[in-house]
Amino acid sequence: MNDNWNHIRKIADSIGSDLDAEAAWDRFEQRPERRKRRSLFWWSTGAVGVLALFLLLGFFFIKDHHQSLQEVVADESMIDTSLKNKTTLDVKLDKEKKLDQIALQQRQNPHLEFNETQSQFQSKLKAKLKSKAKPLTDQVLVEKSNTTSIYQAQAQQEVNESLVQNSTVELGQTHNTSATETALSDSTSFILEMANDLSTQQADAVETNSMKQKDMTKNMGSYPIEQTVQDSYSAVFHKPDHTSPITIDIGIDSKITQSKTSISTIPLPISTNLHFASTILQIEDYIQLDNQLSNTKHLFSKSWTVQARHIYGIASRTLTGDDELFNNRRSAQEDLKELNATELLITRQLTPLFSISSGLSVGQYRVKLFEVNQDVIQNVVFEDVLLERLFKGGEIEERRGRFVGSQTITTERTRFQQYQDISVPVYANLHIKITPKLNLMMSTGASISLVNMTKGVTFESTISAGTYQSLDQLNYRSIGLIQGLANLSLSIQLNQKLDIQLGGHLRQDFTNRFKQSEASTDRFNSYGVMLGIQRRF
C-alpha cells in the first residue's frame, strides 16, 4: 500500500511539468503588487536623487558665495596696496604716528569722548612737551588715520564713504626726516612711552564710542551699513565685515506616517525546538496576524497630526521689466539670497496613503547687496592739517595749515533687504511606506499670504553715491501673494506618536510681488532643506 502512495507521489511531482514558466513569469510581473513595488522603488530612488541634488546644489551655492566674498576681500587688498604706493611722505616712527593719530582723531571726531583719566593724561603730556621743547629741525607731518563705524541712523548718505587722502603740502617747511627721527629717538623717549600709553587708552575710547553707536543703532531698529574710513598712511587696513554670519536655522518639520501593514514587514516567529516542517504552522499564525493588522488600518486612516517644521532655502529671483535700476542693482549686486520659513501645520489623514495639511507659515526672504566703488578726486583742499613739528629746546611745536591733494574715495556698501510674509499653506500629501519606520512623503500645495512686509532700503539711482529708498515705497504688494509649494521628505518614526522629518523643499512665487500698477515683475523662488517633527493624536 505504501508503495502505491510513493508511486503516487512520484507521479504527482510531474503534475506541473507542462507549465510555461517564462509566460507565467511575465504574467507574474504584470500583477499589480509587482508593479506597485517597482514604482515604489523608482519613487524612492527618485526621492533620494532629488534630495541629494538639493544638498549638492546647496553645497555649491554656499561654496560659491564664500568664493565671491573672498574675491571682494581680494579686491580691497588691491585697493589698500595701491593707496600705500601713492604715499609720498616717509613713514614715521610707529609710536609717533600713534600720537598724531590721536590728535587727528580728536579733531575729526569731536564726538569722540575721552574719559577723565585720558584727559588728565593728555594735559600732562602737553605740559611736558612744552617744558622740554628744543629747537631741532622742522618736519613736514601730514598724517591722518581713522577708522570708524558709521550707521545709517546717524548719517545715511554723506558718511557712507571711505576717505583715502593722498595729499601734497602747500604750506610748511620740509627738512630731513631721518635727522628728526634720530633726535626723537635720542632725546624724547619718555614722550614715546607716554604716547604709547595714551594711544592704548585712546583705543579704549574709540571702542567705547563704537559700542555706543551700536547700541544706538539697535535701539533705532535700523540696519547697519558697514563703512570704512581709512587714511592712505595708515599701516593697518581695517577690513569691513561683509561676512555677515549666515545663520542656517534648522527648525522642525513633520509629516504623517501612515501605518500600512504589510506581510513583508512582519518577521516570522522563530521556533528553535521544532522541525523545520512545523514552520507552516508559524506561517499560518503569521498570516492571521497580518490579517488582524490589516484590519487596524482604519485606526490610522482618520488620525490628526500636528507638524512643526523649519525650512532653509537658497533663493533666487526673477526680475523683469524696463527698470534699469532694478536690473542693475538686483541682478548684478546681490550676492546672498536665502529663505527661512517656519510652518505649523495640522494634518488630516484621509486614507493610509493620502492626507491634507494646512496651518500657518511665516517666511522670510533675505537679500544682501554689497558694493565697492573707488573714485579719485584731484585738487582737494584740506584745512587744519598737521604740517610740521618743530623740536626746539626740548619742546615740540606743531604747525598746522592747509594743503591741497588728491582724494581717493572708496565706497563700500552692504544693504540687507527682507521680504516677509505670513501665509496660509495648504498641502496635499502622498505617503509611501518604505520600511516599518521609514516613510516617504510627497507634498504639493499652495499658500496665500495674509501679510506681506518689506524691510531695508534699496538704491534709488545707479551712481555709487546715490540716495536710497525704502522698500515700502517701491510699490510692493502687502497682501495676497500666492506661492506654489512642494516637499519631498523622509519620515523616521521615533515612537508611536512622534516622527522626525527631513527633506527638500521648493517654493515659487505665482504672483508678482509688485502691485499691479508696477510695470516690473519680481518673483522669488527657492529650494532648500527642511527639518521637522510631528505628533500624532
Residues that bind other proteins (CB under 8 A): 1, 3-5, 7-9, 11-17, 19, 21-22, 24-25, 27-28, 31, 33-34, 41, 262-264, 267-268, 270, 276-281, 283-284, 287
Which residues face 280 on adjacent strands? none
From the CB of 250, what's the least distance to other proteins, in Å?
33
| 45/82 with CB nearer other proteins | 45
Q: Which residue has the cell 559700542?
A: 211
Phi/psi of residue 272, nearest 5 degrees? -95, -20
Cα separation, 419 vs 192, whole angstroms: 54
| 246/263 with CB nearer other proteins | 263
459: left (phi over 0), alpha (psi -120 to 50) or beta: beta
From the CB of 282, what's the least distance to other proteins, in Å?
9
CB 432, CB 353: distance < 8 Å: yes
From the CB of 13, what's the least distance to other proteins, in Å?
7
Q: How do 482-493 and 438-455 pair as beta strands?
A: antiparallel
From the CB of 481, what's the least distance to other proteins, in Å?
45
Give the 3-state secondary structure of 108-165: HCCCCCCCHHHHHHHHHHHHHHHHCCEECCCCECCCCCCCCCCCCCCCCCCCCCEEEE
From the CB of 499, what's the least distance to other proteins, in Å?
24
CB 169, CB 88: distance < 8 Å: no
| 110/267 with CB nearer other proteins | 267
From the CB of 285, what's the least distance to other proteins, in Å?
10
Cα separation, 257 vs 355, whole angstroms: 10
| 28/304 with CB nearer other proteins | 28
| 14/219 with CB nearer other proteins | 14
| 173/288 with CB nearer other proteins | 288
Which residues face 432 on adjacent strands? 440
| 42/537 with CB nearer other proteins | 42
| 284/398 with CB nearer other proteins | 284
| 288/296 with CB nearer other proteins | 288
Residue 328 has what DSSP assignment? I
Cα separation, 474 vs 367, whole angstroms: 16
From the CB of 488, what's the least distance to other proteins, in Å?
21
Side-chain-side CA neighbours of 145 within 13 Å: the count stands at: 20
From the CB of 50, what's the least distance to other proteins, in Å?
21
Cα separation, 259 vs 263, whole angstroms: 13
From the CB of 318, what's the least distance to other proteins, in Å?
42
Nearest alpha carbon to residue 492 among 483, 501, 484: 501
Q: Which residue has the cell 611736558?
A: 128
Burial (Cβ within 10 Å: 0-12, 13-18, ≥19) of residue 200: exposed
Cα separation, 501 vs 489, whole angstroms: 7
Q: How many CB atoms lie within 10 A of CB 73?
A: 13
Which residues face 449 on adjacent strands? 423
| 17/517 with CB nearer other proteins | 17
Cα separation, 383 vs 398, whole angstroms: 15
From the CB of 39, what's the least distance to other proteins, in Å?
13
- Residue 418 has which C-alpha cell? 527682507
Nearest alpha carbon to residue 166 among 383, 402, 409: 409
From the CB of 11, what's the least distance to other proteins, in Å?
5
From the CB of 12, what's the least distance to other proteins, in Å?
6
| 34/302 with CB nearer other proteins | 34
| 288/461 with CB nearer other proteins | 288
CB 260, CB 294: distance < 8 Å: no
Cα separation, 155 vs 465, whole angstroms: 13
What angle, 0 to 180 degrees and rounded to 10, lies between the N-to-C axes of helices 189-220 and 94-108? 40
Q: Which residues contact 85 (CB under 8 A, 6 or more apart)?
A: none
From the CB of 42, what's the least distance to other proteins, in Å?
12
| 19/299 with CB nearer other proteins | 19
From the CB of 364, what's the least distance to other proteins, in Å?
43
| 174/435 with CB nearer other proteins | 435
CA angle at 362 for the pair 370 and 224, rounded to the nearest 5°: 30
Length of the chain: 537
Q: Which residues contact 62 (CB under 8 A, 6 or more apart)?
A: 246, 314
